[in-house]
Amino acid sequence: MDRILSGLEPERVFYYFEEISQIPRPSGRCKMISDYVVNFAKDHNLEYVQDSLGNVLVRKPSNREDDNRPVVILQGHMDMVCEKNYDYEAKHDFTRDGLKLQLLDDYIYAKGTTLGADDGIAVAYMLSILEDDSLDIPEIEALFTVDEEDGMKGALAFDTSVLKGKLLINLDHEISGELLTCSAGGKRVKCTVPVRYKKVSGVGYSIIVCGLCGGHSGMEIDKGRGNANLLLGRLLHTITKNMDYSLKYIGGGLTDSAIPREAKAEIIIDSKDIDTLENVVEKYSAIICGEFEGIEDNMMIYAENKGEDTAMCLDSESKRHIGFLLNTIPDGIIKMSRKNEGLVRTSLNSGIMQLSDNEFVLIVNMRSLAESEKEALADKIEYLAEMAGGTISEEYDYPAWEFHEESNLRRTAFEVYQKMFGHNPRLRGFHAGLECGVFYKRIEGVDIISFGPDITNIHTPKERLSISSAKKVYEYLIEILKTI
């Protein structure tokens, strides 16, 4: 293949980043990337373990025979969030096609899709370190996990008893110059509301909310961005207050870990209400665009006349139940931290909504630094679902990584950063969930830090990886390993 990243430094890091960018690796479909890591281990005569889910542990011994330095666990995930622009390459299949990497100044991006630098750059870092026999570093246990973006299923299922190390460096952060000290726990629940249909005739309309920024439902939840699913629900309620309509279809969002960028409803109305509908949508669009001025400057909300239509639509009770849920469910920041200024403590994202022949589904992602608040929020969602005639089911639940005052690993990383760059790194908590929480709970006495290079707009097709930052962080990682 033509190598877009040829000539970038560190050469082997970007070599492997480009290699894995050609391997489809959506959450739940990680066999190819897992097997790639296994074959890498075989080619380099390294000990490895591949479990039934596809997690891979690769061990690299120290090149010192009498090395008594502690074993270090390097950890990152192999899967990626798969988002693409709907107006570009509709045929791109994340289960089959590689990414089309591009360069722009100091950045790497993928044409029309997410880049997968979250957490592909960690995979590239670890492969490069495992390959390099010249490094004077301790024994390494490189843990490549699957399905982090789908409830951390790989980490939760991994048998941590096979690990020897008690020092863990997670490489799944997206702001250089920061050392993470704790992260939120998370829970995903599926709200299911049964529905019934009736045949309706009239004029069909598509109601569309699009052009939103979206982004990571943990890292970007404090940006005040719009949730396309809930904005559409609010618009449908506004229409209800002005006229009658029948709901044929509603859907939006692709993953619970991303703030929904687009949502769509298909409705049928009486021909006499055409002007009313179009006026309501136009006024609503102006109001919402005003509310999000300076945040969602590319947002579009519009109604498109599809002509005469006869179809099965939801009955009035089903439509009312869906409207109730979409207009009462909490959204975004629920509580800020009292101890750490600017840190979100608890949040909620309604990431996916789907309508089928017999049910409406809303998939909700809750995050919190406090287990009690996460559970209280889940209880609230359960009550709302019951009021809408539905139920909830838990799809995953992972723990928080709690802050500890004493951390030798953090102290080492802090001092190395000072020495290399002449100033202090920023220590901060993190509202997004990290696999650190799973390992914190399951590896007794583990000492954890997390850091990474600059990656912007993750979980969106605007994702960008800074080349210079990736180089800086790799050199920093190597120096930490040498210093331990």
Which residues belong to the active site? 79, 148
For the chain, the residue count is 484
Tokens linked to 289: 């665009």
Angle between helices 467-483 and 408-421 (to 10 degrees): 120
Q: How far is CA 308 from CA 204, 267, 270, 311, 322, in A?
A: 6, 11, 10, 10, 25
- Peptide bond before 454: cis, by omega within 30 degrees of 0? no
Q: Classify residue 130 as left (phi > 0), alpha (psi -120 to 50) or beta.
A: alpha
Q: Nearest Cα to 343, choosing from 256, 187, 188, 219?
A: 219
Cβ-contact 304, 205 below 8 angstroms: yes
CB 435 within 8 A of CB 145: yes
Which amino acid type is present at position 36?
Y
Under 8 Å CB-to-CB from 105, ≥6 apart: which residues?
A: none
For tokens 């979409």, name the residue: 326
| Sole residue written with tokens 């990571």 | 216
Sheet holding 107-110: strands in order across? 101-104, 107-110, 464-466, 455-456
Half-sphere CA count of 77, side-chain side, radius 13 A: 31
Residue 392 contacts residue 188 (beta carbons within 8 Å): no
Alpha-carbon dihedral angle through residues 60, 64, 67, 71, given to the nearest 10 degrees: -10
412, 373 contact by CB (below 8 A): no
Please tell me the distance from the alpha carbon of residue 335 to that of residue 318, in angstroms, as a whole number. Answer: 32
Q: Do 146 and 79 touch, CB atoms closer than 8 A?
A: yes
